[in-house]
């Protein structure tokens, strides 16, 4: 691969970008030369609204921080010096650190007007888009977040847990295997496809060193296979959103044109992002690819035009009249489960001693399932996932030990402060100690309680503690503790 001596970019990449951008090419190059990067966070609406976040926590950020990201109401820019990932607010799931342009894809997903939507994020790790979708769903329906790479699926699961998401199923499967299992099933599917990553050159040096024309071609072929699987799984009338973080037309406009040529039951629709970004362009297509109607509805995020990295987003709709019918899945009835009577007794005793009746009732209005001694809860509309690689089967409630039930960290952060019968409030400084695993020298009634960060009028569960009457033993997971 021959590199340009001045920019360090591959010459073939630069030549293609110059042909695509024309008179905008110097501005594109100048932008990369500046090395400016934009940092973003997205407020978690499962915890608080953007206005509440600003009114309570703006003072924790520098004066120039928290300008709104125009295309996402929960999104804000922040200064790198603020380091919000180090704050206890981050561990409480108050926000997700996410590159601003990356917030565009999930924004283009429109949920159906139904009580229990089924939503699939097919290439979900590390979880930015899945958690954004969960914020749109607000606990209703089922979110299936899938990641084919097992190590990345674990990171995805951790982020689902940290943000207190209770209605997500995390899988570690291939798209083809899911397509065989769930034909014509999902109301919405997001495919944030693995790509050549040209739009992330300033953020990810590996994307630059691995670039080649052959790699772009390989990515395009893989994306086509993933889209074929998504087409099988989308229910008639459903919405498919496709996104990449690359500039390569083979992976963007051409990928969409090839897909629609192979799947004429799909048509391009508005993304809802037209006011913020540039339309896709049929002029970028290779000679052998024919443009499809509506290609101008796709959008490109150019980093020399907006405050964000490079992205491409397309929204497609599957004809409601096409052949196919959603299978009659055996959605589990409310409150069903597989606990033994002795286990049910231990679990319900814990709820009576620790949670408010309304919180306990909310948990009961779901499907309980056991993995060994681990108890999970999914919403009543869950899908059957036997013989699939399940990383997280919904909300992890806890573990059965000898003659007792021990609550999981995931349960604590999925609850509200008012859902606990007893809490111990901590300041930001005390929260730092708790996150390091320190015991809290705070008297409280004996038993399990929620450790709650109390900051500027907000009350956010951080995890569990267990009081002996004089102090609170720390039950923050050892694997998450800060050194």
Q: Does the annotation count 245 as an active-site position?
A: yes
Beta bridge partners of 376: 369, 396
- As a dihedral over the C-alpha atoms of residue 390, residue 125, residue 94, residue 420, rounded to 10 degrees, the angle is 10
CA quadruple 386, 387, 393, 398: dihedral sign: positive
Among residues 123, 245, 351, 381, the one annotated as catalytic is 245
E-strand ranges in 60-207 read 75-78, 95-97, 118-121, 142-146, 168-171, 186-192
Q: Is 135 helix (H, G, I), strand (E, B) or coil?
A: helix
Coil, strand or helix at 360: helix
First-to-final CA distance of the chain? 42
Q: How far is CA 91 from CA 38, 56, 452, 463, in A?
A: 22, 17, 12, 10
SS (H, E, C) 375-411: EEEEECCCCCCCCCCEEEECEEEEEEECCEEEECHHH
The first and second tokens of residue 74, run together, are 């929960």
Question: Residue 223: in which H helix or E strand, if any?
Answer: helix 213-233
Cα-Cα-Cα-Cα dihedral of 161, 164, 165, 169, to 10°? 20
The DSSP H or E segment spanning 30 is helix 25-34
- The torsion angles phi and psi of 390, rounded to 5 degrees, stand at -100, 125
Report whether 37 contacts 8 (CB < 8 A): no
For the chain, what percentages of helix, strand and coil (3-state, to nearest 5) are there? 35, 25, 40
Which tokens hold the place of 103? 């917030």
The rounded radius of gyration (Å) of the Cα atoms in the chain is 24
Give dist(CA 425, CA 427) in Å, integer: 7
Q: What residues are labeled active site?
A: 245
């Amino acid at each position: 691969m021959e590199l340009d001596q001045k920019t360090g970019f591959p010459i073939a990449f630069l030549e293609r970008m110059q042909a695509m951008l024309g008179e905008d090419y110097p501005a594109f190059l100048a932008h990369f030369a500046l090395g400016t990067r934009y940092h973003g966070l997205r407020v978690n609406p499962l915890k608080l609204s953007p206005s509440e976040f600003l009114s309570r926590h703006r003072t924790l950020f520098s004066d120039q921080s928290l300008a709104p990201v125009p295309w996402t109401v929960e999104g804000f820019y922040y200064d790198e010096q603020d380091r919000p990932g180090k704050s206890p607010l981050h561990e409480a799931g108050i926000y997700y650190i996410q590159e601003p342009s990356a917030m565009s894809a999930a924004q283009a997903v429109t949920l159906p007007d139904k009580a229990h939507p089924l939503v699939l994020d097919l290439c979900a790790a590390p979880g930015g888009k899945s958690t954004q979708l969960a914020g749109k769903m607000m606990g209703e329906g089922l979110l299936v977040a899938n990641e084919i790479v097992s190590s990345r699926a674990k990171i995805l699961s951790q982020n689902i847990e940290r943000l207190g998401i209770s209605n997500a199923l995390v899988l570690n499967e291939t798209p083809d295997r899911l397509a065989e299992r769930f034909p014509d099933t999902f109301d919405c599917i997001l495919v944030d496809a693995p790509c050549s990553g040209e739009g992330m050159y300033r953020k990810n040096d590996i994307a630059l060193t691995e670039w080649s024309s052959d790699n772009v071609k390989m990515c395009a072929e893989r994306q086509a296979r993933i889209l074929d699987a998504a087409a099988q799984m989308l229910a008639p009338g459903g919405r498919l959103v496709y996104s990449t973080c690359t500039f390569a037309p083979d992976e963007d406009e051409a990928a969409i044109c090839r897909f629609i040529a192979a799947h004429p039951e799909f048509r391009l629709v508005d993304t809802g992002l037209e006011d913020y970004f540039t339309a896709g362009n049929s002029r970028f297509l290779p000679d052998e690819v024919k443009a499809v109607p509506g290609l101008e509805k796709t959008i490109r995020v150019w980093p020399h035009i907006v405050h964000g990295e490079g992205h491409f987003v397309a929204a497609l709709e599957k004809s409601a009249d096409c052949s196919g019918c959603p299978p009659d899945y055996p959605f589990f009835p409310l409150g069903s489960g597989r606990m033994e009577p002795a286990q049910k007794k231990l679990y319900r005793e814990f709820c009576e001693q620790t949670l408010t009746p309304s919180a306990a009732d909310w948990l009961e209005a779901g499907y309980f399932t056991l993995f060994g001694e681990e108890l999970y809860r999914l919403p009543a509309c869950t899908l059957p996932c036997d013989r699939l690689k399940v990383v997280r089967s919904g909300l992890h409630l806890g573990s059965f030990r000898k003659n007792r039930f021990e609550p999981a960290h995931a349960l604590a952060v999925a609850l509200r402060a008012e859902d606990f019968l007893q809490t111990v409030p901590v300041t930001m400084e005390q929260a730092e100690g708790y996150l390091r695993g320190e015991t809290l020298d705070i008297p409280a009634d004996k038993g399990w309680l929620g450790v709650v960060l109390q900051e500027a009028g907000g009350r956010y569960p951080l995890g569990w503690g267990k009081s002996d009457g004089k102090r609170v033993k720390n039950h923050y997971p050892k694997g998450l503790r800060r050194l």
